[in-house]
Amino acid sequence: MENHDSIPENCIYTPIVRDERRPYSTAVVKKAETIVEEKNPDAEVRITIAGKKPLLPPLSTKQKKRVGKGARVLGFIVALIASTSFLLPIVLTIANSFMQESEITSNYGVIFESLTQQDEGGWGQPKSQKSSYVSESANLKFIPDMVSFKQYYTVLLQSPDYLLKFWNSVILVVPIVFGQLFIALLAAYCFTRFRSLKKDILFFFYVIMMLMPYQVTLVPNFLVSRAIGIIDTRAAVILPGIFSTFSVFLLTKFMRRIPNALIESAELDGATEWQIFTRICVPLCKNAVASTAILVFIDYWNMVEQPLILLADQEKHPLSVFLSQINNGEVGLAFAVAVIYMIPTILIYLYGEEYLIDGISYSSGVKG
């Protein structure tokens, strides 16, 4: 083989027949990229730099299998630890909901006494502004000494307050979900179909509003609600929720992935904008709508600040507010109420898990 001037003096080259079963060390030198390729495509150049050790040979098939198996085992262990950490509070809540009140008080009473003190004048109000701490450790138990359904009997049959607050949550959340989806679909269609600089600027402000925490807009919402006379009514919570920006952003991003060829073909067939919206865009956004509905429901099902600030009447408070202000005299009911509170979100997630994954993943775009 001929010598090449482009090879450095401290390098040697040797043509080697390609053989996948024969691993060899290879060090790539940029100045020698064109060696031998033009004259002998079946040969490969091995370049070693004088005075330096060659690179390690590639792994064999058995070694690759061992490394892959070890990585899968390590990933399984990490996933198991993470899932256990997330599921542990749920399992603990469900297990302790079947305990007797005396057992719950003996195990966790020290926590409620330190964090949820009450005075005679108000419900859920701290006695003093001094910070308190738990001086004793709680006893975490996953198996009750004696299974009892008394807490569920009290919550569901004896005391109507808990069911009333549960239905307060339903009355507040359901209109917000349906209203927000309706407004978001119309706004997303307009942002998708009628593109202009002004609309892009407006959409940019939508994104900025979505990134802001709710506490930033809480005071303006309170002032507007008081100005239009809906303070201390459910409308003060429902209306700001309906016009939230999150659904508009999510549906707009999804709707912009619809191929323009579908809309143009519908226009050639004489379809109106309303027909394009209802018969093409909305059906193709089914997964995005379902995932948005699930996320919005979970978000507003757990709301606390809105009803506390905008609803002065405690009879209108949802169950989430009650859980944040659990009565010290009803510690035994806390876990039972928490289990009932979790049921709607768990059922909705299990039913719409597939829609949720398809709706928020970029790969679930419209297939042409």
The DSSP bridge pattern shows strands 43-49 and 11-17 to be antiparallel
pLDDT digits (tens, 9 = 90+) for 297-350: 998 998 888 888 888 888 888 888 887 766 555 666 778 888 888 888 888 888
Please check whether residue 297 is in contact with residue 355, taking contact to mean a CB–CB distance below 8 angstroms: no
Least confident of 47-56, 172-181, 254-263: 47-56
Please state, in angstroms and rounded to a whole number, the distance separating the CA atoms of residues 138 and 123: 25
- Going by C-alpha positions, the residue among 363, 241, 336 that lies closest to residue 293 is 241
pLDDT digits (tens, 9 = 90+) for 310-320: 888 888 888 88
Kindly calculate the radius of gyration of the chain based on its CA atoms and give it in whole angstroms: 32
pLDDT digits (tens, 9 = 90+) for 29-46: 444 444 444 444 554 444
What are 271's two structure tokens? 């379809």
Please state, in angstroms and rounded to a whole number, the distance separating the CA atoms of residues 245 and 351: 25
pLDDT digits (tens, 9 = 90+) for 213-251: 878 888 888 898 889 988 888 999 999 899 888 888 889
Q: What pLDDT sits at residue 136?
A: 58
pTM: 0.69
Phi, psi for residue 43 in degrees, rounded to 5: -100, 150
Q: What pLDDT sits at residue 334?
A: 78
Q: What pLDDT sits at residue 70?
A: 80
Helix or strand run (H / E) with residue 191? helix 160-193
Give CATH for domain 156-364.
Answer: 1.10.3720.10
**3-state SS class at 11:** strand
Please state, in angstroms and rounded to a whole number, the distance separating the CA atoms of residues 187 and 255: 11
Domain ranges of the chain: 1-57, 61-153, 156-364
Helix or strand run (H / E) with residue 45? strand 43-49
What are 27's two structure tokens? 């060090």
Residues in the chain, how many?
368
What are 141's two structure tokens? 């138990």
**3-state SS class at 86:** helix
Please state, in angstroms and rounded to a whole number, the distance separating the CA atoms of residues 81 and 103: 29
- pLDDT at 88 exceeding the cut of 60: yes
Please state, in angstroms and rounded to a whole number, the distance separating the CA atoms of residues 223 and 201: 26
Please check whether residue 188 is in contact with residue 255, taking contact to mean a CB–CB distance below 8 angstroms: yes
- pLDDT at 114 exceeding the cut of 80: no
Please state, in angstroms and rounded to a whole number, the distance separating the CA atoms of residues 67 and 19: 23
> Which amino acid, 213?
P
Phi, psi for residue 280 in degrees, rounded to 5: -120, -60
**3-state SS class at 46:** strand
